[in-house]
Chains A and B, each alone.
Chain A
Amino acid sequence: MAQDLPPIGGYEPVQWKRNLPSRGFRPTIYFWGITGLMAFGFYRLYQGADEQRELSRERQWSRFYLEPLLLAEEDRNIARRYYSEKARQELVRDSMSEEVKAKFDQEIYNDKSKFRFPKYIAGPSSSER
């Protein structure tokens, strides 16, 4: 009986590998590519942080240079209000009766070591209003 033998010229080649499209580059290329990209990103990030710090320093110093000017204006306004309040208090004081005037002339603070801007308004007490 004749044996089953391979055909003459051999079998067709067996497709042992799946016929898939190429999946891109070698993995090392991806690894170093992503590493390099991230390194560049962090480099720029810290450059930008440095620059932001210097920009805020610039802003702060411009404010420091303007501060005396703004404070001087503000102080003049405060002084104006203080002196006009003093004048107003004098006017109110002149129209007071004797005992109210004595009360008005009392010192508010025992500690006279420092100057305080007035926080209280001279006038009749709220019950007499």
Chain B
Amino acid sequence: MVLGQFFTARHEWENIDKNQLPSDIPEVDEVGATSAPLLAASYYIGAKCKPYNDDFMLCKDENNGGSLECLKEGRRVTRCAISVLKDINKYCFDEFKLHYECLEQENHRTGHCRPSEGVLGKCIFQHLNLEKKIPGVEQQIHLKPNPIFTGTSKDKKKTAEFLKARESSTTTASAPASAPASN
């Protein structure tokens, strides 16, 4: 029982937009991902949606900020990002969840979540053929073999557990036909 229940004048919030966009501007879905999943997917979004992103940013640059002029390009950007997130959720949901939960726990420091990031990157490369690539440098920090700043070993442990659980589930599910699955 909360005291606030007795205050009848309390405002009931409804998440309804009373001032919608005009109907001549097409609808587009929300991305609906929070910061950690977005950070986990950012490089893949960047890799897949580069033409749309560049188009949008150039449009904004040409139109002096272009908040009203570049709505069409903005919708394309949003749709592309949604499609990437949908693909990741479709093929690599467990790995994705493992990684973004780590990011959430580790204060969004990607350096502390390398093991799960490796698992996610492998899965995404297999299924979506997207790769994380930091532009402008030879040394890719996420592939560095013995990093100095590794944070806690929590992610390592959780990733090992995840891989073990996955391995046991696949071996029990397809024990006789495990030979082709090893590739």
Contacts and interface: CB of A to CB of B under 8 A. Distances in A.
Interface in A97-129: 114-115, 117
Given A61-B43, A115-B64, A71 B147 contact: no
A59 to B, nearest CB: 7
A92 to B, nearest CB: 15
Given A61-B135, A80-B20, A51 B43 contact: no
Contacts of A117: 67
B31 A69 contact: yes
Q: 6 shortest A-B CB distances, which residue pairs?
A: A65-B46, A72-B74, A84-B19, A54-B141, A62-B42, A68-B53
A47 B46 contact: no
Interface string A64-83: 11111101110110111111
Contacts of B71: 75-76, 79
A52 interface: yes
B110 A58 contact: yes
Interface in B88-144: 109-111, 134-137, 139, 141-142, 144
Nearest to B17: A80
Interface residues of A, number: 35
Q: For chain B, which range describes its interface: under 10, 10 to 19, 20 to 34, or 35 or more residues?
A: 35 or more
B43 A65 contact: yes
**Residue among A51, A72, A78 with the highest chain B CB neighbour number at 10 A:** A72
Given A65-B45, A65-B53, A79-B71, A44 B148 contact: yes
A48 interface: yes
Interface of B: 17, 19-22, 25, 28, 30-31, 38-39, 42-43, 45-46, 49, 52-53, 56-57, 60, 64, 66-68, 70-71, 73-75, 77-78, 81, 109-111, 134-137, 139, 141-142, 144, 147-149
B46 A75 contact: no
Contacts of B77: 68-69, 72
A55 B21 contact: no
B75 A64 contact: no
Contacts of A65: 42-43, 45-46, 53
B60 A71 contact: yes
Contacts of B149: 48, 51-52, 55
Contact of A58 (B20, B75, B141): B141
A115 B78 CA distance: 25
B137 A80 contact: no
**Residue among A47, A62, A65 with the highest chain B CB neighbour number at 10 A:** A65
Given A73-B78, A76-B71, A83-B21, A68 B111 contact: no
A75 B136 CA distance: 29
Contacts of A73: 30-31, 74, 78
Contact of A69 (B20, B64, B78): B78
